[in-house]
Amino acid sequence: MKQFSAPLVFNHAVRKGRLVMMRLLLAATVFLSAMPAHAITRYNSTSMSCDEVRGTIRQDGAAIMRYRSTRNPSLQLFGRYVLDDRFCRQSERAETVFIPSADRKSCPVYECKPFDIDDDFPVLRLHRFD
């Protein structure tokens, strides 16, 4: 009967552990490369009607709209506009803003804006008494 020395058993366990890690790393790489990138699309809102702007946002869930500033036409403005709160961060909510479109000066869309829960529930507001 052959006896295994401790270093040989230890080396085998290390090699087996490395093999398992390599397989997991390969599986994670394949899985992540198969996922969509969820790239956000960019549009020029002034070349679309208001209905087209709102339809694009409804279809994509979120879109970046570009337009010229009304005060300084040489300045291009842009923003990320969303379908609803689901496309905002947890600390944000969708609020109505107005952007220019081809047929209207102010097309209503939603934009994510930061909010504080104390703003909606003044009862929960903490008061400090100094």
Interacting residues of 86 by C-beta distance below 8 A, sequence separation 6+: 61
The pLDDT value given to residue 41: 84
How far, in Å, CA of 65 to CA of 43, rounded?
5
Q: Which residue has the higher pLDDT, 58 or 34?
A: 58
Question: Is a pLDDT exceeding 60 seen at residue 37?
Answer: no
Label residues 6-43 b or e (16+ Cβ within 10 Å = b): eeeeeeeeeeeeeeeeeeeeeeeeeeeeeeeeeeeeeb
Contact criterion met (CB below 8 Å) for 109 and 99: yes
How far, in Å, CA of 21 to CA of 31, rounded?
15
Q: Which residue has the higher pLDDT, 129 or 82?
A: 82
Question: 4-8, 40-44, 64-68: which range is least confident on average?
Answer: 4-8
User: How do residues 6-19 score in pLDDT, each as one tens digit?
Assistant: 555 556 666 777 77
How far, in Å, CA of 50 to CA of 100, rounded?
8
The pLDDT value given to residue 58: 96
Q: Which residue has the higher pLDDT, 65 or 118?
A: 65
The stretch 38-59 carries a mean pLDDT of 92
The stretch 114-126 carries a mean pLDDT of 66
The pLDDT value given to residue 3: 60
- pLDDT band at residue 130 under the 50/70/90 scheme: very low
Q: Mean pLDDT in the chain?
A: 81
Label residues 47-78 b or e (16+ Cβ within 10 Å = b): ebebebbbebbeebebbebebeeeeeeeeeee
